[in-house]
Structure 1
């Protein structure tokens, strides 16, 4: 539903701003989907006059214009429009103005050696036309310096409302104004529609050809002839109003019906009386009948559809679209005005089956106001005679307007019970009466409420409460939690749920993007990642490539990265938190966190990346950041070279706490193993048909040690030493098969009070180092706590370090 602000104010006396109106509409349930304010888009375009236009010295088709913009000084503009000439008033845009038709921001230019400090604009450049032959030409009396949008009347915002199906009354501007008035944003302008007395009987009769059980299909039909009309283009105000909401003006008679469809939510239809043969019959379509409709298409009708027919056959598809044969054109002299009521369900069925979407169908299938059927015809007659002349006949009526009124016995306490809002009886009554309801007191706490004819959605007490609350404001409804049932545990997350939530945040903070993949993978993929056992095969897979439960999250992530790479997104950093399946038992289902990096480490395609692709240490950094965020103490964590078969044997490692189980296999069935990281094996990538290299990690959250219970919430004492730390380097000769991590652990344990950190800075094999041995250089940071260390004390610590390294790793100082 579209309307303009000026159109709305024809029915609503208000001083509210556009922002207030938009906010109020959404607040009362008429959600504003879009606001187009052309004045805001064109606020920088002003009326200007070309004082002088001379030929450009270096271009035949360009002119140098001296332009008066109303600012007191002439501006030089180079213009290529063929109609740029001295004395012309047009529209000027200064540098810095956004040109909507070209999607650019105008800057200062130099065209063929001549400076240009602005632009003279065309309708196309202002998005006011699809094409133009030159710059805009304005009348001589156009005021120089005034904003063009205001001068041209383009300062009327268009508001688009996303209506819910239960609000057919708001499918007209008048209904929207009524709701805003009820919300206290103004006063509704109510104008009486006076009936027009007929000068002569209507020469065309109407028959409703339905059985008693089918009368609901067309309960009412009214027809009136206006003869001697002069059809032609509708007046400018009407054409402008239709164009602003996206409708194309056709002629005065058709434009009047379109106008009333949007103004009063009252669809009507007009027939060219000269082309109607005999009387009209409203009936079901007959088998084999067709209709050439106003959209130029021929539709095959069936017996479920209702048509308006004359002696020649169907002339209109009831409530959906008229026929082309009896349509009104500029030669129409006598017009038949139709106003009718149709069954919403039948209209919806007909429109869907034929694929016809019209403004009339939109309103009829939701339910129009039955009481306004005849007044709407009177209003259409009034506009026809006002704009096209002529004299009207009496009405020919068939059927009767339904007079059923929905009555609700409403206890005022219901608002408090259903919505938790305490509204006084007087306040609720005022709201309902402004909406058109009739309220009669029925005891101390009850009222008899009659719904207005334009609200077919009102059925019971809950609907009355909804009307009160939406006008009062949903923000008045208190946020009240439901009472907890007896025996239900308090709302807390389990330790594993908290761990999964924290893992998601930690990995997202590392720059990885979360993905959700299938829990099922193919047999080949499962085999490549340690699965594929018969007990994990699905009995009834949804697809051949989704036949096995996944033993790891990595196949899904790698496949997702491959699909993205095939579509041009090569650099992918993804993670997933989800279940993996090691065996069919309950304990075989584990919660895992995995991530991959494919592409340049951290920088994507950038000159500063120096072609350094993500590797094992990038995956290790992600793992250590994850463990830190989860509060896992890494003091006893062992980083053991190598991993499962789907990781590269020389570029991967296993993370574990303590020794492995008897099997010695570093898989997740060993409780000591918490995860792996490194580069994926080319063989595993080949099974997924994905190009590498890809760095990956996977941590089983179930295998992580439980956090230690804290006896107190008091944070540990912060220890900051005022003394300067110092560093000493050591180079040790060890067996070639020795792990640097074991040496670091031994050195760090030599004096836990003074040694703050140990880093490996060098690993060397070659000249000067015996065969089968290697040199590992470590930097040891000492942090004094109480006093500055003397040389003797430093030497004593160094001796402890050498002795501990020799004792635990067989290392000799180089």
Structure 2
């Protein structure tokens, strides 16, 4: 919302400076965003006089001028058709910023002729729309005089943010009222002239949709002479960013900003029969004043005559009934529209306007007749004609609201001690009616829909009295704040993040919902997990886990040139709407290439990379990794044969790992292979005793012994079975068993493969002798043989 200083002073009698006004606005809760002072922008621009003008030697449309300026005589090349000797001009020197061109002037050569400065047009200085030539100033203006003094007083423009709870401040008068209540001046009486009715209202006015348009008022003026609005009105509209059109239209825009009272004016000759507010009908459409066609439906409020739709009520009128220079008879509309209907219609059609902005936030329902009278008076003054009587059909929702208000409420809620006399002064100045007593009776003005109860009244008193009077208190000592131990879930989430970040993965935080098509690659989402009002069509269901969103993030990174993407997220997964239907999952995605050694060799990630990541997370959160079993059962979305699950027992799944199915990778536009893993943080058994100390360190003082074995093993049997068998050959001495090589090819039968494993023997009582090692080796070979393994010779 913008307004000029002189506009404010139409409503506020004050001698306050611009800085004082801005400071007071901020104090009373009007969020000032900026102040523009045209005089400052024009400071470098002064009066110059063209002493000589001649044709440019190399350009037909350019003239070389010698200009007398405050900097002496300057040579300026100009292309304006009116550049001639003897005229006074607006001179901008080198170094001046020209707002209309968004450029700072420098020394230049134009077709080989040096040009020092510029002679400006009105549009280039943002003083008007004229761009046909340079400004011609009065002949008696002295050279060197600041342009701001010549063109007259220039109004500063204040821009502030209208907060949702204060729809009345969409009008300048409400701002003046707040400032007057704060002691910055006196609110001038609002003059609402009585309009003498020269004839009865000639057109029937109806509202057939009282829920969307509770009240519809209209007035007719005949024999008007439309044309440009007066300079003062045009200047104010331009200052707030509006383009003057003609007097009839400019009046409605002026009152919308002046009193937050949107109006609309129709060419009476273009209306067929009665005019009414009603709901739209399927198949109807109209061409709006923004030159776009809009289809309406039964959820929208339209203004129509007997033959067609004229416009959207409270949002925008139509071309078919618009006023132009030939308009002689007009109908002025002043109505009250339901804010919710306006908001829904504007959102459905993606149509915004100043009228919609005000109606959907709420306007004063008691302003219908005042708006008609003020608009009619201005039109009659500047366009002539005669006015009809006013017709208002329906009942505006004017609510007589009285609040019981104890005068001690301000002290109770804010700690500010404001005298009863001062409270009454503030409330009366803001337009509230006050009846004092034990408990005050405060009548709420119709333009304040945000005031509902006594707390709202106390807030009004507090903000006008000044929030800088709020008493201060020290915060309590943080050391006295209660502390709690983190839960097991919090500890696990933190540990999972730490270990994955330490391995080079970057943490992502994605939405708790995802695209239904993406989620379907991994799980069926029941209807109860589909959002009723999604913020976006591609975020329509609760996610089965972070995996779909991480894959989308990886795809976006690849599309922007990333060769290697390593992402993880620790967050929720959803299977139903019950508390047990939400799980905490640590998920990772590895795509592109991964470094394998210090030499920089890179390879694509695979199933074992995913398994290693999953195991590292499980170990970090305290899962019994030594007891885990690996199952080669591929969940949906994983590559069969290149994926698996880590389980504690046959039924409790702690993690899933592997490569993404190629078809899913293609759907997400990712290069295969993609390694993925999911660790179920909640599935890991809880510690038996919270806060128990760690067991004693079982470290041996004796050096371990490492022995390698190579076994021929059937291809159709899992290698894990062989490792488990070797590990159980001597549980007292065998500390670790690791598979480090798999070989298939020459020297190995086709139905078998060679598995090389490393066995770590950890003595605890004495150093092992050769015979001890041989005995354990024999046990290992025998255990492997029971699983079908044969020692390779």
TM-score bracket for this pair, using the shorter chain length: 0.5 to 0.7
Kept after mapping to 2: 8 A contact 1:291/1:323? no
Pick aligned residue for 1:477 from 470, 473, 477: 470
Aligned pair in 2 of structure 1 residues 66, 318: CA closer, same or farther (>3 Å)? closer
Are the counterparts in 1 of residues 286 and 295 from structure 2 also a CA contact under 8 Å? Answer: no
Provide closer, same or farther for how the CA distance between residues 491 and 138 of structure 1 changes in structure 2, counting only shifts above 3 A. Answer: farther
Question: Partner residue of 2:9?
Answer: 9
| Structure 2 counterpart SS, 1:470 | helix
Q: Paired residue for 1:88?
A: 87
CA deviation map 1:241-290 (0-9, x unaligned): 22222222222112111211111111222232333333x35353463463
> Which secondary structure state, in structure 1, belongs to the residue aligned with residue 450 of structure 2?
coil
Match of 1:415 in 2: 410
Question: Please, what TM-score do these two structures have when normalized by structure 2?
Answer: 0.60
In the other structure, the counterpart of 2:284 is 290
Equivalent residue in structure 1 for 2:445, among 449, 452, 459:
452
For 2:319, what is the secondary structure of its paired residue? coil
The Cα offsets for residues 464-486 of structure 1, whole Å up to 9 and x where unpaired, read as: 12212222333433455788999
Give the deviation of 1:488 after TM superposition: 6.2
Distance 1:372 1:184 in 2: 26
Distance in 2 (CA, whole Å) between partners of 1:416 and 1:38 is: 44
Q: Is 1:489 equivalent to 2:482 in the alignment?
A: yes
CA deviation after TM superposition for structure 1 residue 388, in Å: 0.6
Which residues in structure 2 correspond to 1:618-637 (within 5 Å)? none
**Cα distance in 2 between the residues matched to 1:548 and 1:440:** 61
CA 1:515–1:321 in 2, change beyond 3 Å: closer, same or farther? closer
Shift in Å, 1:455 = 0.8
Please give the alpha-carbon distance, in whole angstroms, between the structure 2 residues aligned to 1:301 and 1:575.
47
Q: Does 1:337 align with 2:332?
A: yes
Give the TM-score, by structure 1 length.
0.59
Distance in structure 2 (CA, Å) of the matches to 1:313 and 1:539: 49
Q: Residues 75-99 of structure 1: CA distance to partner in whole angstroms, max 9, x if unpaired? A: 3445565654432322222233234
Relative to structure 1, is the Cα distance of residues 215 and 126 closer, same or farther in structure 2, using a 3 angstrom cutoff? Answer: closer
Q: Distance in 2 between matches of 1:17 and 1:346?
A: 42
- Per-residue Cα deviation, 1:532-586 (whole angstroms, up to 9, x for no partner): xxxxx9999x99xxx9999xxxxx99x999977974x9999x999999xxxxxxx
Shift in Å, 1:460:
0.9
Following the alignment from structure 2 to structure 1, what is the Cα–Cα distance between the partners of residues 423 and 301? 42
Structure 2: distance between partners of 1:366 and 1:179: 19
Structure 1 position 226, deviation (Å):
1.9
> What secondary structure, in the 3-state scheme, does the structure 1 residue paired with 2:320 have?
coil
5 Å-filtered alignment, 1:65-80, equals: 65-70=65-70, 73-77=72-76, 79=78
Q: Secondary structure at the match of 1:241?
A: helix
CA–CA distance in 2 between the matches of 1:367 and 1:258? 17
Counterparts in 2 of 1:273 and 1:154: CA distance versus 1, 3 Å: same
Q: CA deviation at 1:153?
A: 4.9
> 1:8 Cα shift?
1.6
> 1:634 is matched with which residue?
none
- 2:55 and 2:63 in contact (8 A); partners too: yes
Q: Counterparts of 1:369-518 in structure 2 under 5 Å? A: 369-443=364-438, 446-478=439-471, 489=482
Partner residue, 2:174? 175
Counterpart of 1:272 (choices 253, 267, 270) is 267
Pairwise CA distance, 1:293: 4.2
Partner residue in 2 for 1:585:
none
Distance 1:332-1:362 versus aligned 2 partners, 3 A rule:
same
Tell me the CA shift for residue 127 of structure 1: 5.5
Question: What SS class does the counterpart of residue 412 from structure 1 fall into?
Answer: coil
SS of corresponding position for 1:159: strand
Equivalent residue number for residue 187 of structure 1: 186
CA distance in 1 between counterparts of 2:299 and 2:109 reads 69
Does structure 2 conserve the Cα–Cα contact (< 8 Å) formed by 1:13 and 1:188? Answer: yes
- Secondary structure (helix, strand or coil) at the match of 2:253 reads helix
8 A contact 2:334–2:371 mirrored in 1: yes
State the distance in 2 between where 1:68 and 1:174 align: 46
The residue that corresponds to 1:145 in the other structure is: 144
Structure-1 residue corresponding to 2:241 = 246
Match of 1:47 in 2: 47
Match of 1:155 in 2: 154
- With over 3 angstroms needed to count, the CA separation of the structure-2 counterparts of 1:290 and 1:202, relative to structure 1, is farther
Of residues 204, 207, 230 in structure 2, which corresponds to 1:206? Answer: 204
- 1:364 counterpart residue number: 359
Distance 1:298 1:549 in 2: 44
Structure 2 CA distance for aligned equivalents of residues 449 and 291 of structure 1: 47
For the residues of structure 2 that align with 1:376 and 1:87, how far apart are their CA atoms?
Answer: 49
- The CA deviation at 1:370 is 2.2
Q: Is the 8 A contact 1:78 1:114 kept in 2?
A: yes
1:190, distance to aligned residue in structure 2 (A): 1.4
Q: Can you list the C-alpha shifts for 1:139-158, whole angstroms capped at 9, x where unaligned?
A: 42344222324533583233
After superposition, the CA RMSD in angstroms is 6.4
Q: Go from structure 1 to structure 2 and tell me whether the alpha carbon gap of 1:59 and 1:266 turns closer, same or farther (over 3 Å shift).
A: closer
Judged with a 3 Å threshold, the aligned counterparts in structure 2 of structure 1 residues 66 and 421 are, in CA distance, closer, same or farther, namely: same
Q: Deviations over 1:476-515 (max 9, x none)?
A: 3345578899996159999xx9xx99xx9xxxxxxxx998
Post-superposition Cα deviations, 1:370-413, rounded to whole Å, max 9, x if no partner, equal 22211221111111110111122222343344553111001122
Quote the Cα distance in structure 1 between the aligned partners of 2:130 and 2:210.
52
Distance in 2 between residues matched to 1:76 and 1:139, nearest whole Å: 22
* Partner SS state of residue 321, structure 2: coil
1:232 to 212, 227, 230: 227
CA pair 578-398 structure 1, distance change in 2 beyond 3 A? closer
What CA deviation, in whole Å up to 9, does each residue of 1:689-739 have, x standing for no partner?
A: 999xxxxxxxxxxxxxxxxxxxxxxxxxxxxxxxxxxxxxxxxxxxxxxxx
- Provide the residue aligned with 2:165 in structure 1: 166
Q: Which SS does the other structure have where 2:356 is aligned?
A: helix
Change (3 A) 1:141 1:437: same
- 1:337/1:422 Cα in 2 relative to 1: closer, same or farther (>3 Å)? same
1:626-656 deviations in whole A, cap 9, x for unaligned? xxxxxxxxxxxxxxxxxxx99xxxxxxxxxx
Alpha-carbon distance between aligned partners in 1 of 2:553 and 2:331, rounded to the nearest angstrom: 64
After superposition, the Cα gap between the structure-2 partners of 1:491 and 1:258, relative to the gap in structure 1 and judged at 3 Å, is farther
- Give 1:201 deviation, angstroms: 3.5
Check 1:120–1:492 CA distance in 2 against 1; reply closer, same or farther (3 A cut): farther
Contact 2:404 2:440 survives alignment (8 Å): yes
Label 1:417 to 1:88 Cα distance change in 2 as closer, same or farther (>3 A): same
Deviation at 1:63, TM superposition (A): 5.5
Q: 1:392 to 1:65 in 2, by over 3 A?
A: closer
Name the residue aligned to 1:319: 314
How far apart are residue 237 of structure 1 and its match?
Answer: 1.9
Q: Which residue of 2 aligns with 1:772?
A: none
Asked whether the 8 Å contact 2:287–2:293 carries over to 1, the reply is yes
Name 1:30's counterpart in structure 2.
Answer: 30
Take 2:422 and 2:323, find their aligned partners in 1: how far apart are those partners?
Answer: 50
1:36 and 1:159 in contact (8 A); partners too: yes
1:215 & 1:133 partners in 2: Cα distance? Answer: 51
List per-residue Cα deviations over 1:171-218 (Å, max 9, x = no partner).
Answer: 1111121122222222222133231221x44242435455xxx64544
Mapping for residues 330-729 of structure 1, pairs under 5 Å: 330-443=325-438, 446-478=439-471, 489=482, 567=560
SS of alignment partner, residue 10 of structure 1: helix
How big is the shift at 1:436? 0.6
Kept after mapping to 1: 8 A contact 2:342/2:360: yes
